[in-house]
Structure formats: structure tokens, C-alpha cells
Structure 1
Amino acid sequence: MTARRVARVLIDSPLPQLDRLFDYEIPDDLASAAVPGVRVRVPLRSAGRVVDGYLVEIGDPDASDRPLSELDAVVSPVPVLTAGLYALARRAADRAAGSASDILRLAIPRRMVRAEKAWLAAEAPARPEVTEESLAWAREVLSAYPGLAEAVDAGERLAVDAPPSPAQLPDGTPVGSWAVFLAAAAVQTLGSGRSAIVAMPDHRDRAQLEAALAAHVPADALVRDDAKRSGPERYAAFLRTLAAVPCTVIGNRSAVYAPVSELGLVALWDDGDPLLAEPLSPGVHARDAALLRQELDGGALIFAGHTRTTDVERLVAVGWVRDLPAARRRSPRVVLSATREGESRGARVPSSAFATAREALESGPVLVQVARPGYAPVLVCAQCRHPARCAHCGGPLHAARPGAVPACSWCGRAATRWACTECSGTLLRMASSGSERTADELGRAFPGTRVIVADGDHPVPQVEARPTLVVATRGAEPPAVGGYRAVILLDGDRMLMAEDLRIGESCLRWWSNAAALAAPGAPVHLVGVGGAVARALATWTHAGYARAELADRAPLRMPPTVRVAAVDGARAAVDAALMELRRSVPELDAEAVLGPLPRNDAMRALVRFDYGLGPRVAESLRASVVAAAVKARRPAKGRPAGPANTLRVRVDVPDLDL
């Protein structure tokens, strides 16, 4: 019998039971086109239809008589799935008890035929050249961190506190010093003939880094991986990363999967930002994907930020990541601003911060950070102070502008005849001030001063170096030319009230990122906040705060001192998964499982486990997901099929939320 050529295919399907390689015979007419990495279409006998997939590898010739279906078609001649990308997707999925196809759906953009044809018709990109002037500039910037350049060349894993100050490019564009620092690391890496990947939370950060790189990296070697770009642009950028010459990739969380050649650096900016946490299954955080990428492909790994997350500090503590300090410690001038004697304890802006703003406005812009956008994001009953809720869905009511009819923040319905459910009162009172109301109040307090609102609905790219009050929500603060002459951080006490295990970390990150926009020596007022978080900001000892947080969480077995998996689904499926987990991993202690308890018409249990048990826990939970899915699709005789997914698993949830 003649041996058959066998293609091993990963099917692009959300069904967990299909997360493995399937063997297909390669017909003679597809022999030349069927190469590893191409998109293919294959028959799925169990479903009686043709599905998409990736040809992962060519198996050994098969001379047996086992029945094999044939490949139906090769969709594209471009091998978009490299061996390294598949290995990374497989490792990331196994660690998160998920499917490799879900990872690849995030890493590989949809095929765009015109962009692909243009790429195939174009000449192969030339090897990029970095000028000696750019290399000298990079070495000078990196010299602020002794040993950093050598550590990047040696492929080390590093935690770096970025310089907390504004910078200005030769063309006058204001950027953060962190962007200049990461640009220098990428330029040095590209100059050594290797690729660099820099992932960051959003497009505002990407724009700053792109501006810092523009003068030093050739345009054809700078690749943007941005979800806001059109489909053809994203696919064309992805095809560029497949070239056999190095490049520099900058983008959001999916950029860590870019299949570049000769990887020399993966850098992650501000890993505590929730935008770097992948919301789609299997929910692999960009930080974890970067760690896996560095372990598989080598090269250096840099975690940079104005603050230190407990996740990175844990890696430093166990010796997996090295803390590399700057030669000279720099920090903003933080003032813990409180109300003075004779002032109302409820005063939103104390006299000291007010006086600072008035003085600073004589020479330049002033930044005021607030917690929420809008005019009055929270309304309460004027009589009993009970939160005002929507009569239809129970959502909170807010006012879009002065005198406007209150509306629900959830369903959008207008509350024209609202009555309090506690006291039957009909009058409302504003319980908090949003960015627009704060702008109105400060505009009256500083007549004749220009006031700008910067939030999600009003993005502001940058601010000129003239007297301006900028009222911005956390994370939407625009850089100012020359830096802000003063920064006032309001609503800190309300931010800390959020029911979140990591709210202290989050607040410290929000405040620190805003403080880093201040001009050198400019005052930064933190209003109405004390305690460990305020001291960490005032002394700029973020790593110490992260260490203290880890020490507090360790006895309670809270993340990230341990890993936590959430198991959701029908009661029978959850119970079966927990029973199998106990059998497969007997080392789990008696208090490892919390629940199950009712949650959103289902049951939820949390599993806490040490990092060393991670592979076995993930394997057991993944097997339970597959078993539950197979059982749901194969009902007992005479019974209708149940829901396709009766069990869901999410590994590395950020907190203990039952």
C-alpha cells in the first residue's frame, strides 16, 4: 500500500472537544500548496460540514488502512501560523485551561484578500538599518539605568521603574519619558539585528511611543498592531511580521503574539492596566503571554511602569525577574493635601490645593484628576440620602447636565416621575461630581481661564503650554507641552471605596501616572487621602507598597500569592469538576475550594492553588469542560439536548469574587 501524506490540522472551533490536531490525507492536487501554517478547509464528519482550520504540521507518511478524510481546500498560500506562534498558543491555552484556537483568533487577524495579494506581489522588505546617531541616542537614554543595555543584549527578565517625568521630542511633541525610554530599548534591539515587541494598554500610549520611535526606526520596520485600525491594515501589518527580517512591533495586548523573526525584546508598559487583561476566552493576560513568549523564544523581557504590580513584585521576589533601579532616583513633588482649620471637612478642593492651582495658572496648565465622567454621575434622595435607582432595572440614576431629567446609567430610561423606595421622597440631590460639573465649578472659581474636559467622550491628544485648567478622568489625562505646572488629584477617598481586592494598587497607578505628567518640581496635591497608599505615592516607593501587599495577602491565600480559577455552570457539572479535581490533584488543601454558591442563574466555585500545581489543575479542569460539553451534545435517549456549554472555567481571575 502506498504511504499517504498526512496533514495535522487544528480546527478553528469554539467547541473544547475539538481542541486537538486532526489527521487528514493530502490529495495530490493540493500536495504543493499544503505546507505547514496555511489556512485550510476540512470536512468535519461528526457535523457533516466543512470548517476552517490551520495546517500545523505534516505528519509521517501513513501506510495503514485507517480511514482518513481529505483536505477540502487550501484557503491561502501564506503560512500565517508559524511553528513558534502555534507553540505559544498551545502553551498559553494549556496554562489557562483553554483552547489554542481561541488564542489564535486573537493573534491572527482575519484574512483580507486584497491586502494579501498586495503583500505577495510586493518585494520582500529589506533588512532595516539603524543609524549610528540613533544607536548613540539609545545608549545615552539607557545609560540612566546602569547595566540595562547589557541586560537587554543578554536576554534577561527585568522590572524597571520608568522615569516619572514629561519629555519633549525635537519636533515639540510632548510625550512621557517612559515612551522615550522604551523607544531607546527597541532601537538598540533593532540595531543589534533583532526584533522588538512593545505592548501597551491603549492608543494614547501607542501614539506617544510611535512619536518617540519615528525619528530612529525606518518606516517600513515599524509595525502597528492596533485594534482600531481597519481589517486590511491590521492584516497587512501582521503579514509584515512574518517576513524573515527583524522589525519593531508596537500595539495593544495582542501584540505579544506577533510572529516576528529573531525576537530580541518583549516589553510591557503599565501591566496593571485592566486593558492588558484579555476579556475573551481563555482570558490570558498580556503579562503571562509575554512571560511564556520570552521563555519559548528567548530575548529580553521588560516590565516597565510608574508603579509596580504585585504580580511583577512576586516574580521579583522568587528571582524570576530582576529589579533594575535607575542610577539616580527621581520622583514628583507630592503633597498630601488636607483641609485646614476652619475649612469645611467636606470641602472638595482644600485651600492649599486651590492656592497652588491659582499660582500655577500664572505660568501654564494645571491638571485636575477626577473619578468619573459626566455632570452628576450619582444621584441620591434629597430627604433620606438613599441612592436613587431606576424603577425598571434597578440601575443608578445620573444627571447629564444641570436641570436635566435624571436617566438610568444602565437602561437609559428617563426617570420622569421618580419616587424614593425608602421614604417616598421625590427630590433628588447630587452625591458626586463628574468631570463636567467639576469643570463648571472650577470655571466659576477661575473666571477668564480656559477649561478643558478630557474623558472617554472628549479625548484630548495634548495640551499647549499656556494657562489652562484640564479636568480629566483617570486614564484620560493628556500630556502637556513642558509638563503641568501643578496636578491636583481629587476624589481619592471615593476611588479607594471600590469593592476590589486591588483597589489600592489601581489608585496608586492612576495617581502616579497623573503625577508623572507634572513638570519637574511642580507640586502634586493628593486631596483627602492618607494611609499606606498615600505614603507610597508621597515617597514614591511603589515596590515597597507591592511587597507589603503581598505580605498581607499571603496568609489569606489571595492572588497573586496563589492562583485562582473560577468554575461556573450547572450544579451537577460544577460538582463533577470539583470531585475530579480532588481526585487528580490530591495535594490541594481542605480550604482550596470556595463554594459553590449561586451566581447569575448558575453556580460558581473558586479554586485556590499554588503555582507548582498549576499544570495539573488546569489539565483537570480542562478535561471536565470537555466532558461536560460532550455530555451536553450527546443527551440520553429520548431527552432533548441541553445547552452546549454547561461548564466554564476561567483561570487566574484577579480576585476572590463569588
Structure 2
Amino acid sequence: MSSEDGKRGGGAGDAVPEQLAFIREAVRKAKVPKAKPRTWRGAALAKELPVARVLVDKGVLHLDRYFDYAVPEELDADAQPGVRVRVRFGAGAHNVREGRREGGGLRDGFIVERLAESDYAGPLAALAQVVSPEPVLDPELLGLARAVADRYAGSLADVLQLAVPPRHARAEAVEMAEPLPAPDAPEPGSWRRYARGEGFLRALAGGGAPRAVWTALPGPDWAEEIGRAVQATLSSGRGALVVVPAGRPAARVDEALRRLLGEGQHALLTAEAGPERRYREWLAVRRGAVRAVVGTRAAMFAPVQNLGLVVVWDDGDAGHSDDNAPFPHVREVLELRAARDKCGFLLGSWSCTVEAAQLVESGWAAPIVAGREQVRATAPLVRTVGDGELARDEAARAARLPSLAWQVARDGLRSGPVLVQVPRRGYVPRLACARCREPARCRHCAGPFEAREGTSALLCGWCGREEDSWHCPECGGFRLRARVVGARRTAEELGRAFPAVPVRTSGREHVLDTVPGTPALVVSTPGAEPVAEGGYAAALLLDGWAMLGRPDLRAGEEALRRWIGAAALVRDQEAGGTVVVVAEPTLRPVQALVRWDPVGHAVRELAERAELGFPPVSRMAAVSAVVGGVADFLAGVELPPDAEVLGPVPLAVIDAGRQRRVGAPPAGERWERALVRVPPGSGAALAAALKSAQAARMARGGSDEVRIRVDPLDIG
């Protein structure tokens, strides 16, 4: 993604199929007077503004436009812009641009505006029902949703399903308290540890709109630092929005805001709250009763009034990418909001994504980082165990735990808990040079190679080209190796190695939030690490190849992010905190962890991707369909002149565990996928072309499904 594309707002973006243009021209030439409805089946209509323009919740691209309805007199008072309605879609419902009827039954919708007359010349169907007089869709939210739909080649109705929570009548009946007075500007607190930290808070408190990429120091202070940024924004009389990837970090920011602001100053929007409470909290935000929000992914659309700051924490977490069409990402949506609302922007993480580095390099945001002395004072000591040491280590072969890791764990258990991070199972091997371990990539498109079953030829996972004479461009080697070793350590094996120590586990089925500060082994999968009271005495990051060897462009970046996320929970070096990572010490992500330099790693990754034309420097879209369907679809797309199509390739080369992330169907169906790549500045044109072609295909009644995902999270 180019930074320009990420910050560009959207226009109307309606994709009208060319084959229907003649209808509009015929209506124009007929010069039929515009409809001025006065009755509907004998019932009187509203005397003022008798036409309601409605966004019908149809969710398909060729119907991604507004429809006009007559407003009965008895619904006049409640049928205001922004309210939910029910309409008869098909029995007299008309498209304002095409002037034709569409089939269907009663459907939900939102009134967008009230008009004196309609562009449609015939009789209009009447609104069937006003579901609630509560206006939930204001012009600001509608404009943001349209911009997101255009950016991701999706429909406005689909975005609004993500943006507006389902209605609960009891929540609407609750009286909202008056908003509390603005708090005082906060003291800088731990923001003093960063070179530009105090200045950032002063700018927010003074009503400014600073934009920053913040590399947080390890430890538990990040939640309070976000809280102080929110307090500074509220002190200027404006609102603030914080989006985190999961419920556990949301709870930590929620607790920090309660300490700093007291009760009643902010809303918590998470799925754990339940539908009714979540809707009640959302209404409090929309009505202006509270001016600050912390929440998970869907909170990115929260209708905060007079927005002064948007914050996203840990933007590299997959939880920030929505799994429902059109698959928006929190970081990109908040960039849009910052640009549209001219408000402050803060992207924070212990690590640093390539997209964050690009925001700084482009000048769109400024860096907030601590000096090296401060980093060394707060980070734990990091030690490595590589392939050669593992091969010579008798303890590693016998107990599946390298001697160094075993020693560090034993020493750490004398003073507190020890964290053991074990990667999830299910990763597919990525191929690399056996001599220098440089990833094996296609010489045509630089995509990753996969081994083809039953043959010695390699298959590119992007463009589908075969390669039977590969050699390493770095060292000239011809031999390949699989770079993944599966997750082997289990809680039972560690329990045998340390029989007198309690073992706790935290993972997908059961995630622990916190653990006591007493000696124990805490085995966790990445992202499920509980916080230890007083910090962990040590951490063991096992089977590093499992994350470094993923067949994904982001493998190194993601491995470093996972490692730093676990190591940030360990005590600092002065307090004896030690981290052991089992991975080849010479690899770039490992060295970045040893030096605690995620920014440097991201900057180097960005430079390499720019040279090779990889995202986010380029923009990509994934197009998936049944075998043969991708080429047929792309043949009808008017792609930008600088677009490059990679593939299609069978989705069989992608493991089942990644199918949801790449837009693939359930295992067993024969689908294929192509990647469309464009250079910076052409992302909006690519999205518009794909959206227009998809709308035309659906208008023609295309039966085979074609899935489009702009900026896919996982491209191989």
C-alpha cells in the first residue's frame, strides 16, 4: 500500500454496469416530469419532503446505490435521516439512477436523506416501517463507510453491517447522562522516556492533530501511556478512539482510563460485553454522553463526536483485519479517519510493521522512540541458540530443551515464573538455500517457491511458474532445505524436565489473562501470553524455525513481533530478566531481537520490498474463484495500464490453515487465485476496476462465486 492510497478518502464510487446505461439515456430523453407523490394506495403522504432516499441492506455490488421511497404521513415524524427502516424491495422500489424495479421482499435499510421529489418518474413504494426513531447513521459515518467500501472494492451495505451494531430496544430506552466536564491535561508520566513524548501530549492538549508512530518500551506502561494521550485529547474538549486487537489488551486500556479519568468518561466496545451492553455503550458514544472509546476491531467505526485522536495498538496483529467483506484493516480505516476528520493519529506497538515504517518514511507521521540507553535499561537480556548448537547439544536431543534454555529456565524459576512460547502447529515449510538460508524466490515475480509433490520441480506460489534449475542468487548454492521444524515441546515434556514446578498452559482453547509472580512454567502459543505479576524472570522462545519458515512475505516481521511481544513481558536486564530464542543467530529478525531494534528491521524490510515491488510499496489484490474462473473474470476487468497479474495458481499449494486469510474456500474445493499488483498511486484505480467488473458480473447473473480481497493479509 502506498501511503497516499492509505490516506485518500472516497467519493461516491458507484459502479453502474455499462449495459444499463441505455436505460438512463432513455429516461433522460423522455423528459417525464419528476414524481411528486401525494398518496400511496389512498393513504396521505408527508406534506414536507415526502421522498426518503434509502440505502437498502442488500449487500451486493450491482445494487450498491440508493432507492427512493414515499413517506406515509403517519411515519413522517420518525422517518428522519439516519434511522433504520423496513422497505418493500421489489414491489415498487426504484433505483434512483436506473429507474427500474428490483425483486425481493421486506428488507432493512437506512434513510440517507429526505427530498421534496424523486428522480424516478413513476409511482414510488412507501416505507413499510420505521424500525426505530434513533438516528444511527450520520453523514460522517456514511462518508467514512463509503470511503472504506471504495478502498476495498466492497459494497456500502457490507461496511455498514460492520459499522452499525444490531439494534436492542431496551438499550435505546436507557436515558443517557450528560457528558462529564473535560479533565485536566495529564502529567507526562512515563512519556518522558521518549524523546518526543511530552511534545506529543502537549500538542493533543492544545487542540493539535499530531500524527506519530510510537515504538513502545517493553513493560506494562503502554496502557497507561495510551490513557494519558486520551486524557490530553479530552482536556482539549475533543473525543478519542483507541482500537486494540483483542479483549485482553482492551481490558488493560479500560483499567488505565478508569484510573486516570474516573468512571463515566469512556465506553468499552468489545464482543465480550454482549450485544445489548455493547449497543448501549455505542449509543452513549453516538449521543455524545461519552467522548472516549476503547474497543476491538469493530470500534474503528465508533461515532465519536468531535474526534481529536485515533489510536491503534499492535497493528501487526491479525485481529485488526476483519474477516467479513470487504475485509477492512483497522490501521487503514483509522488513517482514513485521521485524514477526513483532521485529527491526531497514534500507531503504537512494542514492535514495528513495515506499514508503520512507511508512514514515517513518507513524512505522514513522526517517530516516537526512546534512546538506546533507555531501551537497554528496560529490555531483558536476549541470548540465542542456533542450528549448530542444537546438533551438538546432547541435552537438546534427550530432553528436547537446549542446555542454555534449560539453564536459564532453572535459574529463572528461583525468583519467579518462566514463560515458554511454542508456535502453533500447521505451518507449511518454506524453502531456502541450504548453504546461506536465503529464502528461495521466483526470478520472475519474487514469490515464494513451494515443493511440488511427486516431482523435483518447484512451483511459485504467486505466478504459478515452474522452476527446475534454481540456484541461490546470494551464494550460488543449488541445494534447498525446508525451514520449518514443528512445535515439539509440550507442557508434559517440560513437566518431566522440571518435575517439582507447576506448569500452566495458555492457548486457543484456554487463554490465561494473568499469572502469579511465583515460580511456575507458563507454556503459551504466540499472542496468548498472560501477564505475570512483577514480570517473568525469563522466557524461552522455542522452535523459532516454525515462525521464520512460514510461506509468507511477513514471516520475518511476524516472528519478530511475536518474540518481542513475549519478551516485553520479561523483567529488565538489571532485574535478571533473560530471554532465550531458539533460532539461527545470523538471521535478521533474530539479530533485531538481540539488539531490540524492531524499527531498524522494518526499515530494512521496507527498502527490500521497494526494490522488489512488494507491498506495502505496491498495492495488491487477490482474486479467487473455481478453476478457470479467475482468468474469465480478469478478462473483463479494465485494469490500470501499470497492473501486473501474477498467476492464477491452484490454492492447493496453500495450506488449509491459511485458507480463510487468503480468501480460499473450504478444503476439498478446486479453486485458484491470482494476485494483481500495481505500483504506488494506482491502488484506488485497481480497487475501482475490480469493483466495477464484479458489479457487472453480478448484474449479468453470474452464478460462479468470485472473491476479491484488496490488500490481502497473507499473500505467500
Query: Which of the five TM-score ranges fits, normalised by the shorter chain?
Result: 0.7 to 0.9
In 2, Cα distance between equivalents of 1:218 and 1:72: 45
From 460, 478, 488, give the equivalent of 2:512.
460
Deviations 1:411-460 (A, max 9, x none): xxxxxxxxxxxxxxxxxxxx8555xx532222222232222112222322
**Structure 1 pair 4–259 and aligned structure 2 pair: CA distance change class (3 A):** closer
- 1:141 is matched by which residue type in structure 2? S
In 2, Cα distance between equivalents of 1:286 and 1:377: 26
In 2, Cα distance between equivalents of 1:276 and 1:484: 27
Which residue matches 1:90? Answer: 146
Task: Give secondary structure in 1 for the equivalent of 2:224.
Answer: helix
Deviations 1:201-225 (A, max 9, x none): 1111112212222212232222111
Task: Give secondary structure in 2 for the equivalent of 1:198.
Answer: strand
Whether 1:516 and 2:572 are equivalent positions in the alignment is: no
Whether 1:478 and 2:533 are equivalent positions in the alignment is: no
Task: Give secondary structure in 2 for the equivalent of 1:10.
Answer: strand
Which 10-residue stretch deviates more, 28-37 or 302-311?
28-37
Whether 1:140 and 2:195 are equivalent positions in the alignment is: no
Gaps of 5+ in 1: 166-175, 379-430, 633-641
From 327, 338, 357, give the equivalent of 1:313.
357
Which residue matches 1:386? Answer: none
In 1, Cα distance between equivalents of 2:254 and 2:607: 38
- 1:621 is matched by which residue type in structure 2? L
From 270, 276, 288, give the equivalent of 1:244.
288
Deviation at 1:62, TM superposition (A): 4.8
Which residue matches 1:540? Answer: 596
Which residue matches 1:300? Answer: 344
Which residue matches 1:614? Answer: 683
In 1, Cα distance between equivalents of 2:190 and 2:49: 58
Task: Give secondary structure in 2 for the equivalent of 1:329.
Answer: helix
Task: Say whether the 8 Å CA contact 2:59–2:156 is kept in structure 1.
Answer: no
Whether 1:585 and 2:640 are equivalent positions in the alignment is: yes
In 2, Cα distance between equivalents of 1:48 and 1:654: 35
Deviation at 1:478, TM superposition (A): 0.7
Task: Say whether the 8 Å CA contact 1:157–1:300 is kept in structure 2.
Answer: yes
- 1:292 is matched by which residue type in structure 2? L
Which 10-residue stretch deviates more, 241-250 or 476-485?
241-250
**Structure 1 pair 63–205 and aligned structure 2 pair: CA distance change class (3 A):** closer
Which residue matches 2:234? Answer: 190
Deviations 1:301-325 (A, max 9, x none): 1110011111111222122222122
- 2:692 is matched by which residue type in structure 1? A
In 2, Cα distance between equivalents of 1:578 and 1:623: 12
State the aligned residue count.
Answer: 570
Deviations 1:142-168 (A, max 9, x none): 333332213434212210001212xxx
**Structure 1 pair 130–442 and aligned structure 2 pair: CA distance change class (3 A):** farther
Which residue matches 1:17? Answer: 62
In 1, Cα distance between equivalents of 2:631 and 2:522: 53
Which residue matches 2:216? Answer: 162
Deviation at 1:286, TM superposition (A): 0.8
Which 10-residue stretch deviates more, 621-630 or 346-355?
346-355
**Structure 1 pair 63–88 and aligned structure 2 pair: CA distance change class (3 A):** closer
In 2, Cα distance between equivalents of 1:341 and 1:52: 64
Identity %: 38
Whether 1:211 and 2:261 are equivalent positions in the alignment is: no
- 1:646 is matched by which residue type in structure 2? E
Which residue matches 1:649? Answer: 708
In 2, Cα distance between equivalents of 1:197 and 1:259: 9
Aligned Cα root-mean-square deviation (Å)? 2.5
Deviation at 1:572, TM superposition (A): 7.3
Whether 1:623 and 2:692 are equivalent positions in the alignment is: yes
From 303, 315, 334, give the equivalent of 2:382.
334
Deviations 1:116-154 (A, max 9, x none): 22x2xx1x322224655xx444x2233333322134342
In 1, Cα distance between equivalents of 2:151 and 2:522: 44
Task: Give secondary structure in 2 for the equivalent of 1:495.
Answer: helix
Task: Say whether the 8 Å CA contact 1:143–1:149 is kept in structure 2.
Answer: no
**Structure 1 pair 464–80 and aligned structure 2 pair: CA distance change class (3 A):** same
Whether 1:596 and 2:648 are equivalent positions in the alignment is: yes
Gaps of 5+ in 2: 1-35, 39-47, 91-101, 429-484, 652-668
Task: Say whether the 8 Å CA contact 2:427–2:546 is kept in structure 1.
Answer: no
**Structure 1 pair 95–239 and aligned structure 2 pair: CA distance change class (3 A):** same
Whether 1:507 and 2:552 are equivalent positions in the alignment is: no
Deviation at 1:520, TM superposition (A): 1.7
Deviation at 1:566, TM superposition (A): 1.4
Pairs within 5 Å for 1:219-234: 219-234=263-278
TM-score (norm 2): 0.75
**Structure 1 pair 48–161 and aligned structure 2 pair: CA distance change class (3 A):** closer
- 2:215 is matched by which residue type in structure 1? D
Whether 1:37 and 2:82 are equivalent positions in the alignment is: yes
In 2, Cα distance between equivalents of 1:481 and 1:628: 57
In 2, Cα distance between equivalents of 1:491 and 1:160: 29
